[in-house]
Structure 1
Amino acid sequence: MAQAPTSTDEGTCKSRVEIYGYECEEHHVTTKDGYILSIQRIPNGRSATTPRARKTPVLLQHGVFMDGISWLLNSPHESLGYILADKGYDVWISNSRGTRYSLQHTTLSPKDPAYWAWSWDELVAFDLAATFEHVYRHTGHQKLHYVGHSLGTLMGLASFCEHHLLHMTYYWLGIYEFNPLGEAEHKLLSEICRQPGVNCHDIITSFTVIRRGTITKYDYGNSYENKKHYGQVVPPAYNMSSVPNDLPLFLTYGGRDYLSVVGDVKHLLRRLKLHDKTKLAVGYLPHYAHADFVMAVNANQLVYDPLIAFFKLH
């Protein structure tokens, strides 16, 4: 049986929030498949004037290889978590399973291979659903704004970025947690870098190629496994055209982003061609790379100000 969350789960609040004069709350929610997720809440800015009951909640979902602290890494004037709190929003910051603040499970330990037996589909079906429900219940069933970066965008759109080859390599090597600083991972990446045609100065590209032009659930790599899990020999596709046409969507992408490349975003936009134009805002920043949307010192002006203006319209 996994232990209850300990004081180490409070690292985000203690080290990144309260030190700047913000109030911070620690919340935990258990998913239907047993993962215990940590959620940080910043209910007020440094000069709170609006009662909590009147504040609009915003849920921030981090990207791949990151956790919720990504929204708080810069100064209060440059980090979206602080900026939203100071603008009068009720800020909630999620931490997906397997990240530093969400390593607990009702029965499993991170040392168990079974703990890591999930894909990004489970993050959508279980983590996001449980987090939404928790925030909705604790904020008086108010309308909720959602902000996702990288993985968070995929989760929000219930989509899937194909990563079958890397995952299956890990499975057969007996490696279940991907730790970029781990010894096993270092050996694997070194071997990959020796392969012809692989540029290790741009290794992310080797892992993020979309080979079929579709957005599907996890592909187990053979018809038998797919049939067992999905009842069909190919994984089901997520239909982006089924996103409600009146759902407010604010999408921003960068010209130097090699993880969410321009071609992929344009593919998504084609799927959204019938979307209500008054509900869809699209921004393009030609010099922005993947992490700039949460790390750049000018993201406040180029990304966050337009985002908050969009919130106020919807």
Structure 2
Amino acid sequence: MQRFKNVTSVDKNVNISDNKRVDSKISQINYRFKFLFVVTVINAIVFYLIYANFTAELLVNILRKLPGYNLDQDHGRNAFEIIESRGFKYESHMVITKDGFHIQMVRIVNPFNKNQTQHRPILLFHGLVSSCGVFVSNRFGHLDEYGNYIEYDEHGHANNNTEQAGNTLGFVLSARGYDVWLANYRANSYSSYHSLYTPEDDEYWKYSLDDIVQYDLTAMIDYILSHTKHSSLSFVGHSQGNTLMLALMSITDSYKDRVRPFIALAPSWTHVKLRAPISYISVLKPLFKKLRPQPFLLTPRGLEISREIMSNIASNKYLVWVVRWFVDLMIGFDPNVLRLDRVPVYFSMLPEVASSWNAIQQIDRTLGIVKQFDYGQEENMKIYGRKDAPEYDLSKINSSHIALYYSEFDSYDSLEDVNGIKEKLRYDLVDELLIREPGWDHLSFIWAKKLGELVNHKIIKLLSRYD
């Protein structure tokens, strides 16, 4: 029997030569991306040094007085505020990891659900430099008097989630009776507290992807199952959220039956064919290795200021294209796929903080292999009992409940790299979706205009098989 034969393909007038044209175009302007990326990083650093000496409030006030400025009602709201504004309630659950981080999960509570644990719990896990907010911010909407979740598109047209799957996954699932939990990994705005250290301490930043896998992810899963009295949960990850689950399942079988299904949106593993210009950050790896452990690029306060400035620039209809261009340059942003008017909301949430050690592992993945953190030969011998860092081996995963949803036009996770995941997995995928719509890039799996139509309805259908 041929593996992966039941692949759902969403094709919008794309033929087999399109990918070759994309590669050709990328090659032609590759040198421009290198130049623009370096210039952008330099400008960002200079800009940060300049405005760090002033107050963010002053700059924001100037931006808000410019012609074309319009403040979105969701601008600046955190996940709690967005959840309540939609008519839902929330619970905050703190889990303390074995190494002292206080990890905050946000549980969406649907007031129309008499029994919150009627369905198996679902954990939604965000990607790198992100937070739980990405799963509740796609569109504006609200619960109506009958418990139906109503969403509105950019033209103000209403969509009833009971008739067609909506775009905002957290609310779409909660409105359908699921017990939705939103993850936040260590050090981001929701999980910044540590029992012993503060962000000013070097020890605070001594964590890698391995620590998030072995401490954060396991603690969240164990807590949810204990709290809800269920034996298993569903998991939907985006980008690095999938890296974490794949890594966990490759080193232990303890979670193969506790996580059913594992749905990977924009599955991220190796980045051999990385098209996004963010790949050029690899030039900074030697610097990261030499420096003490620290936040990646900017401190938490620096990122907070950056979000405030960028989101207010994006709130101006004449300036939003500056932010759009920057995001497109870094990871991809097509205004035909993503809503330009929601950019201020999205980037009042992103980017979040990450450690330089996590960044080093991201860079190493461009070599075609995903390893545990490399401390150097001497420390590796103490920690791993070998000179080199061990590999996360996907062929050791024993789960038959994995689904991969990916795009032909993802500049961060290419088809070649996704195929690399499939080739290494021992079991058939429980579901697979290939989106061929031009412009459907990495962020489209959380913020696309047609996310409900092309992706969320597939998620709901697959989850129903496990109810």
Q: Give the alignment's TM-score, normalised by structure 2.
A: 0.56
Counterpart of 2:116 in structure 1 is: 52
| Percentage of matched positions with identical amino acids | 29
Q: Displacement of 1:69 after TM fit?
A: 0.6
Q: Displacement of 1:203 after TM fit?
A: 5.4
Match of 2:103 among 29, 37, 41: 37
- Structure 1 19/89 Cα, relative in aligned 2: closer, same or farther at 3 Å? same
Match of 1:254 among 407, 411, 416: 407
Return the index of the structure with the highest Cα Rg: 2
Determine the C-alpha separation between the residues in 2 that align with 1:120 and 1:161.
Answer: 14
- Structure 1 24/201 Cα, relative in aligned 2: closer, same or farther at 3 Å? closer
Q: Does 1:226 align with 2:380?
A: yes
Counterpart of 2:79 in structure 1 is: 12
Q: Displacement of 1:254 after TM fit?
A: 1.6
Q: Does 1:26 align with 2:92?
A: yes
Q: Does 1:172 align with 2:290?
A: yes
Determine the C-alpha separation between the residues in 2 that align with 1:233 and 1:124.
Answer: 22
Q: Deviations over 1:256-280 (max 9, x none)?
A: 22222222111000012x414xx52
Gaps of 5+ in 2: 1-76, 142-165, 249-268, 272-280, 307-326, 333-358
Counterpart of 2:434 in structure 1 is: 284
Residue 265 of structure 1 aligns to a residue whose secondary structure is: helix
Poorly superposed stretches of 4+, deviation over 6 Å: 162-165, 204-207
- Structure 1 175/233 Cα, relative in aligned 2: closer, same or farther at 3 Å? closer
Determine the C-alpha separation between the residues in 2 that align with 1:304 and 1:23.
Answer: 22
Kept after mapping to 2: 8 A contact 1:208/1:259: no
Q: Choose 71-80 or 26-35, whichever is displaced more.
A: 71-80
Kept after mapping to 1: 8 A contact 2:364/2:370: no
Q: Displacement of 1:170 after TM fit?
A: 2.8
Q: Displacement of 1:11 after TM fit?
A: 4.0
Match runs of 1:1-314 below 5 Å:
11-13=78-80, 15-44=81-110, 47-48=112-113, 51-75=115-139, 76=141, 77-158=166-247, 166=284, 168-174=286-292, 176-179=294-297, 182=302, 202=329, 208=363, 210-220=365-375, 222-246=376-400, 248-272=401-425, 274-276=426-428, 279-286=429-436, 287=438, 288-314=440-466
Q: Choose 80-89 or 209-218, whichever is displaced more.
A: 209-218
Determine the C-alpha separation between the residues in 1 that align with 2:329 and 2:286.
Answer: 21
Could you tell me which amino acid in structure 2 is paired with residue 67 of structure 1? S
Q: Displacement of 1:229 after TM fit?
A: 2.4
Q: Displacement of 1:180 after TM fit?
A: 5.3
Determine the C-alpha separation between the residues in 2 that align with 1:210 and 1:243.
Answer: 19
Q: Displacement of 1:110 after TM fit?
A: 1.1
Gaps of 5+ in 1: 1-9, 187-199
Q: Displacement of 1:119 after TM fit?
A: 0.6
Kept after mapping to 1: 8 A contact 2:91/2:106: yes
- Structure 1 209/262 Cα, relative in aligned 2: closer, same or farther at 3 Å? farther
- Structure 1 103/243 Cα, relative in aligned 2: closer, same or farther at 3 Å? same
Q: Displacement of 1:307 after TM fit?
A: 1.2
> Cα RMSD between the aligned structures?
2.9
